[in-house]
Structures are given as C-alpha cells and as structure tokens.
Chain A
Amino acid sequence: MTEELLRLDGVRKYFGLRGVPWQAAQAVRAVDGVSFVVRKGETVGLVGESGSGKSTLARVATRLLDPTAGRVEIGGKDVTRVRGRRLRPVRRRVQMVFQDPQASLNPRQSVGTILSTPFRAQGTRPTRTQLVELLHQVGLSEEHLERYPHEFSGGQRQRIGIARALAVSPDLLICDEPVSALDVSVQAQVLNLLADLRDELGLSYVVVAHDLAVVRQVAGRVAVMYLGTIVEEGPSDQVYNAPAHPYTKALLSAVPVPEPGAVRERIVLTGDVPTPIAPPSGCPFRTRCYRAEDVCATERPVLQPVAGQTEHLAACYFPEPPTSERT
C-alpha cells in the first residue's frame, strides 16, 4: 500500500456562537465527524454545496484551523496539537492553493517577493534561478518576476498562487476552488496545468470544488460532503456512473449537460440545506431525501461499502443498488 500523506480521523470543527444571557451558547457544526485518507499520487476531489463544510475541512487538513475533535496525521505523524514554529515541517509537505487569486496575493508585493515568502518562512533564501524555475513550472517567464499582481489576468494570478504553493516542494497540494473564479477557457488551462504538474512532480492533490464536472475531470477518487459529513466516497468512475447515496444521485442529476435535447431524469430536491447549528437527528440528508423512512431519524448511518464493492462507500440505510441490478 502506498504511503499515506494525509489522514483525518473523526475530525470535527465547531465554530462557537456566543450565547446571550437567556440562551445557551450554540455551535455551528461546520465539520461533524469526517475520516479521510489521501495516499501518494492520488487526486481526491471533495465536492459539496455551499455550507457543506468542504472548505473548513481543507483548512483543518492544512492545520490553518485547529480541529475541535479528532486527529490530523500528515506523513504518518500526528500533527493535531503541533503549533507555531514546529508546524514548519508540516507546511513543507502540505500547501494550499486558494480560490480567489485576487485576494490571496498581496497587491503591494512583486511576484518575486510573493514567491520568496515561503522560502523565508522556512528560514532559507531562494536564488533567482529557483524563483525563475518556479515561474517556468507554471507557464510564466522570468520577465514576470518584477511585476505586481494587478498586471496579470485572473488565470495568470492563479498560476502565481500555484507557484507559491510549489515553492517548498510539497507532496500534497490542497486546492480550494482553484478555478471557480475563472472563465471557462482559462479554467481549462489551469486544470491542464494541475494535471501536468502531477505528472512532472509526482504531486498529490485534494481538490475542493462545488463544480462536479471539474472534479470529475481531475480526480481519481471523490468524496461527497453534505452538512459537515462525507455521505459517499469512492473511485470517480463508480461514484459518477453509479451513485449510491440519494444525495449524490440528486446532485449529479441537477448538473446540466451541454447537449441539447439530451433526456435525463432529474431529481429536483425540495427545500434548503438545514442549518448546521441544529442538524437533523440521524441522517443529515433525511429531511430532503426521497427515500427517507423512520429508521433514518434514529442514528446517523456510517460509511460502509456499497454491495459488491470494496472502495466505494456510502452512508445510507437505503443505498441505490449497483448499476448491474438496476432496471
């Protein structure tokens, strides 16, 4: 079995809401018990709608946020309680690419300064050759080193964000909505760049995205989140072709397909996602589920293998049968 780069065990992240005198303090359960492994060479997609907790999970995994409960292991080492200076070796292995390159690059710093910051954070000084090499890796050139973020287009800025993440030669890149701020034609360039870097540098990725088509394009394995929990996980082909969890099925059916006249069965979900302050008892999806029965309100279903599969897991009392048995 290949090396584990990241392991999350029963991770919870609650954000406190301050109580008022006549009311107890409440918590937003952004991530509510997630276990998750990323191995070397893998690209794992983390999909879910807004409020599903996917970005919070990414930030806990990079140790930008402290988990409320659970364990975070990076490269086989427990780093849950590691803080401050001792996080440096962790940062060398795991880096993050942010959604909005406009907001994540300091407008007053030149690209050269931006790219040398990770080196300085590690206590080293980069040579000019190293910085130019980084720019080449992401398809930019030496002349860009002295320029400032506003002189670049959105796609180029995202390339700079990726170059910055690559500066410390990490094993794992966690990309939070890496292309959602970009136009379609530019989005494809960045997705191809990520694929090229994977092949050249042997990188692994966690790609957090709300766009299911983007995740299908890049990820070999995919985890679907709903209200702070993973409801389905497995190889992309299996999850996309034969979703087992009713939520995944509804989510996939809602994505419009660019083919006029294509006939598809659409499951239109009613209502909205419940509040993560008081999630429903039992299965978090049961309030909107078309298959829900009484048992769904009792205990939260655990992720378990879908019939006949080993790596395809779903947390549901009534999972969809495998495709071969469907009519």
Chain B
Amino acid sequence: MAEPILEVHDLRVTFATEGGPVPAVDGIDFAVAPGETLAIVGESGSGKSVSSAAVMGLLPSNAEVRGEVLLDGRELVGLEADELRKIRGNDIALVFQDALSALNPYYSVGWQVAEAYRLHHDVSKKVAFRRAVEMLDKVGIPDAARRAKSYPHEFSGGMRQRVVIAMALVNNPRVLIADEPTTALDVTVQAQIMQLLADVQEEFGTALVLISHDLGVVAEVADDVLVMYAGRAAERGTVRDLFFRAAHPYSLGLLGAMPRIDVPPTRRLTTIPGSPPSPGSISAGCPFQPRCAYTERVGERCVTERPELTPRPGEGDHEAACHLGRRPEVVA
C-alpha cells in the first residue's frame, strides 16, 4: 500500500447523555492511500457514520472524541474550529446520504456549489459560479450552465446526489468520505453514481472512504474493508480477504444473510439470530457473543474477555477480532 493520506488511530467517540456516557465508537483504526477505496461496513448502530462525522469534526458538543486523525500527517482531533474549517471541505470532504436534506431549498444549486468554492478561494461570485458550472458539468448534469440556476426540488434524486458530489469535489479534496451515497437511489442510478465516483478517483487520485451496508457495492469498488460491529472493528483486510476468507463469524453471517441475484436461490438464507445491540448495552466480552454460533466452542472467554484485532497467520494484513482460533465455517 502506498503512503496513506488519512490515518485514524484508536478513535473513540463517547456521547454524554442524560443516562450517562454512551460509547458509540470504541477504538477503531484505519488508513486510506491516495486513489484507493476503503469501505466501512456495518449495520445500523455499528458506529460507521459516527466515525466519519468524527473524522470530519462534525459531531455535536456532547460528543467526546479521542484518538488520532492524521490527514497527511497533520492531527485533526482537538484542532481549533477555524483551523478545522480551512481543512474541511477543502482537503477532506463529505458526501451525505440524503441529498435533499444536504441541499438548501432556498438557493440555486449553482450558488450552493459556488459557495463551497468561495469558502476556500478568494474569488468573485462570478468566477466561483463559473467553477460551479464546470463542476456540475463534470458530474454529468446535462446542460449544466442552465441547470445551475435551478433549485434542488427541480432535480431528481440521482441528479441531486450528483450536485452534492459536485459540491464535495469543487475544491478538489484529497480525501472524500461518502456516507451511504447511493442508499436512497434506485439501482440503475446507483450504477451511474458509483461509476462517477470511480471516474473522479481515477482523474484526481482522491482517496475514498465509502460507508455502506451494501456488500455488493463494497465488493465492486473497495480495495480494503473494515467491518464494524457495535462500535468496534470485527474484521479488517482486503476486499478479497473479506469475501473469500472471512474470518469473523459476524462477517460470515452477513455474507450468508444476503440474497443474491447471480445464484439460484437456496430455500433458506442463513441468519444471525437476534438483532444488533444498542450502544451502551455492551458487555465486557465480545460484543457479538450473544448472537454468535461459535461462542459455545470457545467458552467463557467470549463473555469475559474482549477480543482484539489479531493478524491471521499467513494472510498479510488480514485481521479479525475473534477468540476462535480458526476460520469459522458456514453459520448454521
């Protein structure tokens, strides 16, 4: 792997609530290099969106963030607000899931893209608007010069997501974080947007952190994958490690639970019993233990001792946080 542009070490996020502190992210590490794609996979409540918001410094004031976030070697955690503002949207940008709520209904889309440019460049409104039109054209908005004067409600869902991507890319960031960028879209539009992100990456060498629950999308675009469960890393490795050599029972369960269009259906999908724990209700042991089919074979250790990410022998950087010493088979 090339020298990483974004490195996250032991990131922890705790929310202060009326019911006491709730840990949402409990010590995760990841890194992504220019031109590469890291996918963070997990179900709702796994902490994947909170992690990305923490990297961007976008969490509310009741969140306590600890750990290191290094952008090109520079520490972002604890940076003064106005210093962070210079970096955010410029060197590192975020594409939100819901384009309609990420756009202001009151301003034309061209104005909004231009505003993002003017925040980081001392140029006239006219120059910024020209840059916005250029960007909208680049993300595939037909007749961009005219459409730049339209308002968000005049665009379809897919076109709005293109506008949000144009806004994120207008300052040519080195790292792009995309939080479920296609979840709200139809599959044919999803294919268009994923193609667009791939083109952008190739042209500008942008590092992409893709947050997704869709393993199909992940298999297609990711180089490396981090599987999160209950605020912790369950497994980390290359995309091939995860899909061909899954080492954590949770990853394996996710793969088995997903219906596929490319193979004839089996009568039953394999399932993971129960549902993901809510943050704050996690015991001392392995957070996946109450749902795990292997816990009986390992015994007490799963309940008392929290497993750390450990390298899989002979598999390079492939790591899993599981006490089971060997590879799990198909989850029953």
Interface size on B, as a range, is 35 or more
Report if B276 contacts A (CB, 8 A): yes
Query: Which residues from B are CB-within-8-Å of A309?
Result: none
Known: A183-B275, A268-B195. A254 touches B269 (CB 8 A): no
Q: Does A251 contact B (CB under 8 A)?
A: yes
Say yes or no for B327: interface residue by CB 8 A criterion.
no
A49/B188 contact (C-beta < 8 A), A237-B264, A257-B219 known: yes
Taking CB atoms and an 8 Å cut-off, the chain B residues in 111-136 that contact chain A are none
A218 CB, min distance to chain B CBs, angstroms: 8
How many residues of A are in contact with the other chain, CB < 8 A? Answer: 44
A188 touches B258 (CB 8 A): yes
Rounded to whole Å, the gap between the CB of A227 and the closest CB of chain B is 13
Q: B203 near A: Cβ within 8 Å?
A: no
- B275 pairs with A191, CB closer than 8 A: no
A195, CB-defined interface residue at 8 Å: yes
Q: How far is the CA of A192 from the CA of B259 in the complex (A)?
A: 11
Q: From the candidates B187, B195, B243, B255, name the one contacting A49 in the complex (CB within 8 A).
A: B187
Q: How far is the CA of A188 from the CA of B272 in the complex (A)?
A: 8
A212 interface residue (CB < 8 Å to B) = yes
A-B contact count (CB 8 A): 129
- Cβ contacts under 8 Å, B243 to chain A: 258-260
**Is A214 an interface residue when CB atoms closer than 8 A count as contact?**
yes
A277 and B87 CA atoms in complex are apart in Å by 45
Asked if A184 lies at the interface with its beta carbon under 8 angstroms from chain B, I say yes
List A contacts of B143 (CB < 8 A): none
Asked if A269 is an interface residue, CB under 8 A from chain B, the answer is yes
B297 on interface, CB distance cutoff 8 Å = no
Q: Which residue of A has the minimal Cβ distance to B268?
A: A192
Q: Which of A153, A195, A262, A272 is the most central at the interface, judged by chain B CB atoms within 10 Å of its CB? A: A272
B4 within 8 A of A: no
- A153, A156, A191, A257: the one within 8 Å of B269 (CB): A191
Say if the beta carbon of A189 comes within 8 Å of chain B: yes
A254 to B190, CA, bound (A): 8
User: How far is A184 from B244 in the complex, measured between Cα atoms in Å?
Assistant: 19
Residues of B with C-beta under 8 A to A257: 216, 219-220, 260-262
A96 to B44, CA, bound (A): 26
A259 to B258, CA, bound (A): 12
Query: What are the residues of chain B within 8 A of A251 when measuring CB–CB?
Result: 187-188
Q: What separation, in Å, do the CA atoms of A214 and B214 have in the docked complex?
A: 13
Bound: A189/B275 CA distance, A: 10
The answer to whether A266 touches B191 (Cβ under 8 A) is yes
Q: How far is the CB of A148 from chain B (nearest CB, A)?
A: 17
Assess the A256–B260 pair: CB atoms within 8 A.
no
Say whether A185 contacts B188, CB under 8 Å.
no
Q: Could you list 23 examples of A-B contacts with CB < 8 Å?
A: A50-B186, A156-B275, A183-B44, A184-B43, A185-B254, A185-B272, A188-B258, A188-B270, A188-B271, A191-B259, A192-B269, A210-B186, A212-B187, A213-B216, A216-B260, A240-B261, A253-B191, A256-B190, A256-B194, A257-B219, A258-B219, A258-B243, A268-B191
Inter-chain pairs besides A184-B213, A185-B253, A258-B260, 15 sampled, C-beta below 8 Å: A49-B188, A155-B275, A184-B43, A184-B254, A185-B43, A189-B271, A192-B268, A192-B271, A217-B265, A218-B265, A258-B216, A258-B255, A262-B262, A269-B191, A272-B159
Give the interface of B toward A (CB within 8 A).
43-44, 156-159, 186-192, 194-195, 213-220, 222, 239-240, 243-244, 253-262, 264-265, 267-273, 275-276
